[in-house]
């Protein structure tokens, strides 16, 4: 009798391959929705290319853009994409992306620690009909890596170019104070705060723990 080779050591509702932003978000949402999930990662760290990227997401018509004072519509983005892509703009995946994008952001904002914010000015790359000055390009709100405990070491670090002073991640709002710390009392206080936190972090961690957008995925169920 031939052996039935359709037996399994482990059964799961969803098997996700790859722990970058795509895989971790899929696994996170599935787990929140009650599925039993296995997330496989071939390397010894999570984060993938996402962790070493600039971390900006482009999602038109989102709530964070409205909050930042740059209201936008999906219709305007559709016009922009049509001007940019021409005949390819009929791909039905574009409709899916435009419709689902804001829903995904709202879901993550309400159910997880993954939060995004829109800088007031972050123009679309091409000056075409429907282009926006800001609101579509979002960055992840810094996440306190200390909350991950020992798992912090399992997150792929950013590129060295994105860090200073041996592992300090710098966000866009940190750059003006760091470049001119003595310009104002506010700048000075900001820089002292950054350096103090970094010095304390380095007593316990291999790098600074405030995570500015690179791989902020963390499940909060
Ligand atoms: C310097 C830089 C800056 C960038 N900036 C931006 C930006 O600002 N905005 C933007 O939208 N995009 C940016 N990108 C592109 C963006 O980073 C990628 O498109 C995105 O991170 C891809 O995400 P992902 O989850 O699909 O894949 P990844 O984040 O690469 O994750 C894939 C994971 O799968 C794992 N894996 C692969 N094969 C297997 C296997 N067989 N079994 C198990 N695990 C496997 C990998 O080890 C990895 O951890 C940038 C890229 C770079 C390099």
49 within a domain of the structure (yes/no): no
Whether residue 44 has its Cβ less than 6 Å from ligand 1? no
Write down the pLDDT at residue 217.
31
- Only one residue has tokens 């435009």, namely 98
Write down the pLDDT at residue 215.
34
Spatial neighbors of 174 by CB under 8 A, at least 6 apart, are 190, 194
The verdict on 137 and 59 lying in the same domain is yes
The verdict on 59 and 16 lying in the same domain is no
Whether residue 45 has its Cβ less than 6 Å from ligand 1? no
106 within a domain of the structure (yes/no): yes
**pTM attached to this predicted model:** 0.81
Distance 190 CA to ligand 1 centre (A): 32
27 within a domain of the structure (yes/no): yes
- Please, where are the H alpha helices in 126-210? 175-179, 185-204
Write down the pLDDT at residue 70.
86
Domain boundary among 94, 120, 141: 141
Write down the pLDDT at residue 212.
62
Taking 70 as the pLDDT cut, the residues of the chain under it are: 1-4, 166, 211-221
Domain boundary among 102, 124, 141: 141
In SS3 terms, 92-126 reads as HHHHHHHHHHHHHHHHHHHHCCCCEECCCCCCCCC
Query: 27 is in which domain, residue-wise?
Result: 7-42
> Could you tell me which residues are beta bridge partners of residue 38?
15
Q: Which helix (H) or strand (E) holds 133?
A: none
76 within a domain of the structure (yes/no): yes
Write down the pLDDT at residue 1.
56
Q: Helix, strand or coil for residue 5?
A: coil
Contact 16, 40 (CB under 8 A): yes
Q: What is the pLDDT of residues 164-207, one digit of tens each?
A: 776 777 777 788 888 888 889 998 888 888 888 888 887 777 77
Whether residue 29 has its Cβ less than 6 Å from ligand 1? no
Write down the pLDDT at residue 214.
40
CB atoms within 10 A of CB 21: 22
Contact 138, 109 (CB under 8 A): no
The verdict on 116 and 151 lying in the same domain is no
Distance 23 CA to ligand 1 centre (A): 10
Domain count, the chain: 3
130 within a domain of the structure (yes/no): yes
The verdict on 203 and 148 lying in the same domain is yes
The verdict on 126 and 86 lying in the same domain is yes
């Amino acid at each position: 009798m031939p052996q039935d080779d359709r037996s399994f050591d482990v059964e799961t509702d969803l098997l996700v391959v790859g722990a970058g932003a795509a895989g971790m978000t899929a696994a996170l949402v599935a787990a929140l929705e009650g599925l039993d999930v296995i997330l496989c990662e071939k390397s010894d760290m999570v984060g993938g290319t996402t962790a070493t990227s600039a971390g900006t997401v482009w999602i038109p018509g989102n709530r964070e853009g409205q909050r930042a004072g740059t209201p936008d519509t999906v219709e305007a983005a559709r016009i922009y994409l049509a001007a940019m892509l021409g005949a390819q703009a009929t791909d039905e995946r574009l409709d899916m992306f435009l419709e689902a994008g804001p829903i995904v952001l709202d879901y993550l904002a309400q159910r997880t620690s993954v939060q995004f914010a829109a800088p007031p000015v972050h123009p679309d790359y091409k000056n075409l009909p429907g282009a926006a000055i800001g609101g579509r390009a979002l960055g992840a709100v810094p996440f306190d890596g200390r909350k991950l405990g020992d798992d912090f070491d399992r997150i792929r670090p950013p590129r060295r170019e994105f860090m200073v002073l041996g592992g300090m991640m710098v966000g866009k709002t940190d750059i003006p104070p760091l470049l001119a710390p003595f310009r104002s009392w506010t700048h000075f206080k900001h820089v002292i705060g950054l350096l103090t936190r970094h010095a304390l972090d380095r007593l316990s961690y291999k790098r600074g723990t405030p995570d500015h957008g690179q791989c902020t995925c963390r499940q909060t169920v």
